[in-house]
Amino acid sequence: MTEDLWILDRIEDRHQAVLQRDDGEERIVPLEALPKGVAEGTVLREAEAEGDSGPPGSPVRYIADREATARRVAGIEELRASLPRGPSGPLSL
């Protein structure tokens, strides 16, 4: 497998997915190239071996990297917790 990681950014029109890398590059792929039941925010790796994921004959297929997804979610939660909080209560305009 390659080390090229993609994040499932969104699913459009129920038949295609938009993947994004950390450098901002985007790729639109058929939903069939992804593992069944994959959710937005999942980290994906390109699959090289037959039978890893996706339909037979698909030019590029992807497998979910659950460990990388968990690390990414933990990092986002840590960042969110470190952000300053505004005052609570009603706002005066």
Q: What is the mean pLDDT of residues 13-26?
A: 94
* Total-model pTM: 0.73
Q: Which long-range contacts (CB under 8 A, 24 or more apart) does 41-44 make?
A: 41/7, 41/8, 41/69, 41/72, 41/73, 42/7, 42/8, 42/69, 43/5, 43/6, 43/7, 43/68, 43/69, 43/72, 44/5, 44/6, 44/7, 44/8, 44/19
Minimal CA–CA distance to 3: which of 46, 33, 41? 46
Q: What is the mean pLDDT of residues 10-34?
A: 94
What confidence score (pLDDT) does residue 76 get?
93
Q: Using one digit for the tens of pLDDT, what is the confidence trace for 30-79?
A: 999 999 999 999 999 998 655 555 555 556 789 999 999 999 999 999 99
Q: What is the mean pLDDT of residues 1-29?
A: 89
Partners of 28 in the beta sheet?
A: 18
What confidence score (pLDDT) does residue 78 get?
95
